[in-house]
Amino acid sequence: MSALGRFQDAFACALLANDPSSASGAAPRDLSALVRQPAFAVYRNTVHGGLIDAIVANHPAVERLVGDEWLRAAAAVFVRSHPPTHPTLADYGEGFDRFLAGFGPASAMPYLPLVARLDRAWTEAHAARDDPVVDPASMTALAPERLADALLVPHAASRWVRSDEHPIHALWTRSRDPDGGNDLADVAWRGEGVLVTRPIDAVRWIGIGPAHCAFLDACAAGRPLAEAAGGALDADGSTDLARLMADLLDAGAFARLSVAHGSAPVAPTTFP
């Protein structure tokens, strides 16, 4: 390897190390001299500060629940082991929910990884492709005998998260609101789901039940509506299917309605 490459191996390692002086011990002599200069801290602070700022900016609900200081401390551990693989910092933080699930100090807050996953869903929805949105009226225009075989393709911005134990819709909605409190005492503790999407120009979300999630999972897997409906009823036998479809269509969850067997779309879609 070239001298430039060896320099970059050592410099990058010292930048990300927990203790740069320990990293410089293993580094070439010329690098340890650089790391000892007070100015090395400017680079270290910029890199760490930039990454930690991005994690905080991309997880406003987590910040509201745990506070800025706690989140910065957790992010400081995360960024060293998970530096970004791309330079769009507005999109940095993939995997932070899984990191929190294994992060000791978060163990008393088992709902925190799900809140982080919803913050991540917001980030992904915000920058997702500008798909069209299926007009709810186009469903009623479809001949009833073709409905069973029709496919609803989720919008590129649609993300859904479900918990059997935690009220993640109430927790997340309250925590995304800058004026909302972080007192959880009056939250009814039960399992909830959330659908996040961006049908036109703003990210929005609704609370959903297990039947909605099963329906969306089937649609995402390319299953026809009859199977998706069956999955929804398996998840919750009391489901009102017409109401479920109306909830999801009104939220803008789908980009395309088409009949199976490779036919062209049967109904017009509206572009945002």
Q: β-strand 133-134 against 204-208: which pairing, if any?
A: unpaired
Q: Which residues, including other chains, have CB under 8 Å from residue 76's CB and lie 6 or more apart? A: 48, 52
User: Rounded CA gap, 266 and 192, in Å?
Assistant: 34
Site string for another protein, 45-74 (x = CB under 8 A): -xx--xx--x--------------------
List b or e across 143-169, with b for residues whose CB sees 16 or more CB atoms inside 10 angstroms: eeeebeebbbbbbebbbbbbbeebbbb
33 binds another protein per the rule CB under 8 A: yes
Closer residue to another protein (CB): 4 or 188: 4
Piece of the chain touching another protein by CB under 8 A; list 17-25, 79-87, 134-142, 178-186: 79-87
Site string for another protein, 165-204 (x = CB under 8 A): ---------------------------------x--xx--
155 binds another protein per the rule CB under 8 A: no
Distance in Å, CB of 129 to another protein, minimum: 4
264 binds another protein per the rule CB under 8 A: no
Q: Are 55 and 71 in contact (CB under 8 A)?
A: yes
**Helix 29-36 crosses helix 40-57 at what angle (to 10 degrees)?**
70
C-beta neighbour count of 7 within 10 angstroms: 16
Distance in Å, CB of 219 to another protein, minimum: 20
User: Rounded CA gap, 149 and 166, in Å?
Assistant: 35
Which residues make up the interface to another protein (CB under 8 A)? Answer: 1-5, 7-9, 11-12, 15-16, 30, 33-34, 37-43, 46-47, 50-51, 54, 83-91, 126-131, 156-157, 198, 201-202
